[in-house]
Chain A
């Protein structure tokens, strides 16, 4: 995939360029309710990715032809800031971000109980402040806790991770270099508990066995990421008793 290069993505010691093992995640940090005006919001740092998510709604759907008499309309908008990548990105929606917005809307919609809010829309704004490979998955993982924080009923949280092939090996959570110079990239998002797949895309080539291996890597990684989501949500409301001196 991407450009051919002489870079050795997997070192002789079996470690990757950034020193991670093959199935090791980058450090992940999440926080909810970071914006006061939004109904729900979250901020995620996943490796070098920094993404802010704001959720508004359910609110009256506009334009009116978007109103569905049976359910709410989930509209996610993925946007990369001009300064989020090395070379300035031309601001505004492009082919890539429109596609990502669409797949993220659909992934979220499968978790949200949209049938409870006919005629409304739920807006999810995903702003990528700094991009470092895997932004769609990081954005989706953050969106799902922002939607939960907004008090919108959901069947489950959505959690995702990428795997791919770099330097001839199947690796978890691709970094920027592995994404650019690796052989394949496979982002998957699932419902955290039931493990039903809500998003799956692929770029590049992998054999069936490699895809199986990538799958199982991702599935076990989503459990770890789900725990981070849990902690992010719970920590906002768990109160340290000593704080009151009681």
Chain B
């Protein structure tokens, strides 16, 4: 049975009880209120109102995917699927690049998988490539989903994306900002993209993992190059 979670509108009171509100709420004199149009997600100790859509706002420590849109003498300006652009300084990349010659290592239109290093009060942010797993993304495809759906795509401890990755033999990197990079055999990438699209559309429904696993099973015939 497909069960929908409880839908919240801006201003709706959060259910009272032992659960502590964690995100997507604001406080009034009468109690906690939802600040989004989204679904109520109840965890073991906390509850969140997860919006159906909405902009990505950079937070320190987030691993995101960005696209270079501009090159300045000592830094890159990147688009991160957000109202704000972000900056990558030449000191924060693992390559040697002299000032004024940044496009040799990273050019306009290229993508990187990076970590948000700092964000200030006016939402200016700086990212870094100097950490394990962070890199320039060469080749592959980029798809974009609302940032609020990313936790659902990743799944509990990465289970959902692992399932898609394993059954389509596709490399997938999910940025918390909603940009997703896929690389592999084109036929397989298409199946993976479709699976992601279903997760995005049905993120607010229960029992999603089972449906995705059934879907991937049904598309098994379209997968090329089974590694066994």
A residues near B (Cβ < 8 Å) are: 39-40, 57-60, 69, 111, 113, 116-120, 148-157, 191-194, 230, 233-234, 237-239, 241, 244, 246
A183 to B127, CA, bound (A): 62
* A40, A117, A153, A193 — most chain B CB neighbours (10 Å): A153
Closest 6 interchain pairs by CB?
A151-B54, A156-B11, A154-B10, A151-B53, A148-B37, A153-B35
A157→B9 contact, CB < 8 A:
yes
* A-B CB contact pairs (8 Å), 9 listed: A113-B35, A117-B83, A149-B37, A153-B51, A156-B11, A157-B11, A192-B11, A233-B37, A237-B7
CB distance from A148 to the nearest CB of B (A): 4
**Chain A CB within 8 A of B2 CB:** yes
B35→A154 contact, CB < 8 A:
yes
A60→B84 contact, CB < 8 A:
yes
A101 to B9, CA, bound (A): 25
A153→B53 contact, CB < 8 A:
no
B122→A119 contact, CB < 8 A:
yes
**Chain A CB within 8 A of B26 CB:** yes
Chain B interface SS verdict (over half): loop
B54→A152 contact, CB < 8 A:
yes
B-side contacts of A192, CB under 8 Å: 11
Total interface residues in chain B, CB < 8 Å: 32
List the count of A-B residue pairs having beta carbons below 8 Å apart: 98
A237→B51 contact, CB < 8 A:
no
A234→B205 contact, CB < 8 A:
no
Measured CB to CB, the nearest residue on chain A to B24 is A153
A-side contacts of B146, CB under 8 Å: 151
User: Which of B1, B37, B148 contacts A241 (CB under 8 A)?
Assistant: B1
A40→B10 contact, CB < 8 A:
no
User: Which of B36, B83, B204 contacts A151 (CB under 8 A)?
Assistant: B36
CB distance from B132 to the nearest CB of A (A): 32
User: Which of A59, A119, A234 contacts B123 (CB under 8 A)?
Assistant: A119
A59 to B123, CA, bound (A): 13
CB distance from B143 to the nearest CB of A (A): 16
A-side contacts of B148, CB under 8 Å: 151
A217 to B26, CA, bound (A): 30
Measured CB to CB, the nearest residue on chain B to A67 is B122
User: Which of A59, A155, A237, A239 contacts B33 (CB under 8 A)?
Assistant: A155
**Chain A CB within 8 A of B4 CB:** yes
A244 to B205, CA, bound (A): 13
A-side contacts of B84, CB under 8 Å: 60, 119-120
A237→B83 contact, CB < 8 A:
no
User: Which of B3, B52, B83 contacts A60 (CB under 8 A)?
Assistant: B83
B-side contacts of A58, CB under 8 Å: 55, 83
**Chain A CB within 8 A of B97 CB:** no
CB distance from A82 to the nearest CB of B (A): 33
A38 to B205, CA, bound (A): 24
Measured CB to CB, the nearest residue on chain B to A118 is B122
